[in-house]
Structure 1
Amino acid sequence: MTLSPRALGVALVLAMAAPGIARAQGAEVAFGGLRADTSLPVEVTADVLSVNQTDGAATFSGNVLVVQGEMRLSADRVEVIYGNAERSRIERLHASGRVTLVSGKDAAEAADAVYTIESGAVEMTGDVLLTQGASTIAGERLVVDLTSGTGKMEGRVKTILQPGGN
């Protein structure tokens, strides 16, 4: 999966200090840079916006970029899910296709992501990848709390850590 030009050169977070290779079913990790102020407005830009007038469903497609403060989420497609019948409050965003989450210097890549705005939770699934310098961590599911900057990687987690590398 290729990072968007905006995310190229961005260091991906991994807060583990042990050198070597580790394999596990799940790993608790700290993502200090993957934080966001969930009270800020959410700005979405895309090539196309499709709105279903019957149910109010909104789908952004083509070079989608979601911005909230310093947090950036890019994807091929983002569906807006509303939290009430009046569609006045966005509950969550479902991103699919080449998803990249960037906040500050930290980033993560996956095939799919659901961002629950009020709680600040992002669940990324499908070939999730995080790196920091020469160190990497991969798995099938990553849940990040953007408010606290913590997360959990699950699903045959594999990490390669470089001694002395950050």
Structure 2
Amino acid sequence: MSLETSGKDLVLSVRAGLAALALVLTIPAGAGAQGAEIAFGSLNHDSSLPVEVTAESLSVDQGDGTAVFTGDVVVGQGQMRLAAGRMLVVYGAGGAGGGRISRLEASGSVVLTLDAEAAEADKAVYDIGAATIVMTGNVLLTQDGNTIEGQRLVVDLTRGTGSMEGRVRTVLTPSDKP
């Protein structure tokens, strides 16, 4: 082994170690068992943008102000996409006929993507007014080749942050770039 090769490997190892240490330092003590604060998405998500929903079928209930989309449901708002097998749309004042969407409740293989990040879960609730998404049940978040698993992920779209709870497990992938 040449000195040049081992020196280069050492630099890569140190950089990978520093990157992992920096990530660990952003997680509060006890995060492995309790929860973890994480960055998520961009700070420029605008929850006032129109919400577009596509699906195989739609059922509207004017009485309770809801609509149910089923079959390959995809919700888009700006750069954010939320996909699921079923989506309950709850309307605010005015009901399903003319009111604004208050929240979306997704179930069945839920996938959230925003920028280069993706999260999967059993269920998700998007509160449009609060600009928050709460994902529950077998949550898997993927960011830059790293993964974080837990039982509950709360995403604050305004601040671009998230919080993972419920026996959090993180797998860090060292960067091979100098």
Instruction: State the TM-score, normalized to the length of structure 2.
Output: 0.76
1:110 to 116, 121, 142: 121
- The higher relative CO (CA closer than 8 Å, separation ≥ 6) is in 1
Q: Distance in 2 between matches of 1:64 and 1:106?
A: 19
- After superposition, the Cα gap between the structure-2 partners of 1:101 and 1:41, relative to the gap in structure 1 and judged at 3 Å, is same
User: What residue number does 1:99 align with?
Assistant: 110
Q: Which moved more, 1:73-82 or 1:32-41?
A: 32-41
> SS of 1:18's equivalent?
helix
C-alpha RMSD over aligned residues:
2.4
- After superposition, the C-alpha distances for 1:51-89 in whole angstroms (9 at most, x for unaligned) are 124333210000000000111100000001122254412
- After superposition, the Cα gap between the structure-2 partners of 1:55 and 1:134, relative to the gap in structure 1 and judged at 3 Å, is closer
User: Unaligned stretches of 5+ in structure 2?
Assistant: 1-17, 25-30
- After superposition, the Cα gap between the structure-2 partners of 1:25 and 1:58, relative to the gap in structure 1 and judged at 3 Å, is same
Mapping for residues 1-166 of structure 1, pairs under 5 Å: 17-18=19-20, 23-33=32-42, 36-87=45-96, 88-164=99-175
Q: Distance in 1 between matches of 2:167 and 2:114?
A: 25
Q: Which moved more, 1:108-117 or 1:81-90?
A: 81-90
Number of residue pairs matched by the alignment: 151
- By percentage of residues, which structure has more strand? 1
Q: Which moved more, 1:57-66 or 1:28-37?
A: 28-37
> Does the 8 Å contact 1:65/1:74 carry over to 2?
yes
Q: C-alpha displacement at 1:18, in angstroms?
A: 1.9
Please list every run of at least 4 consecutive aligned residues from structure 1 whose deviation after the TM superposition is greater than 3 angstroms.
19-22, 32-35
Q: Distance in 2 between matches of 1:115 and 1:58?
A: 15
Instruction: State the TM-score, normalized to the length of structure 1.
Output: 0.81
- By percentage of residues, which structure has more helix? 2
Identity %: 58
Q: C-alpha displacement at 1:39, in angstroms?
A: 1.3
> SS of 1:23's equivalent?
coil
Structure exhibiting the larger radius of gyration computed from Cα positions: 2
> Does the 8 Å contact 1:34/1:104 carry over to 2?
no
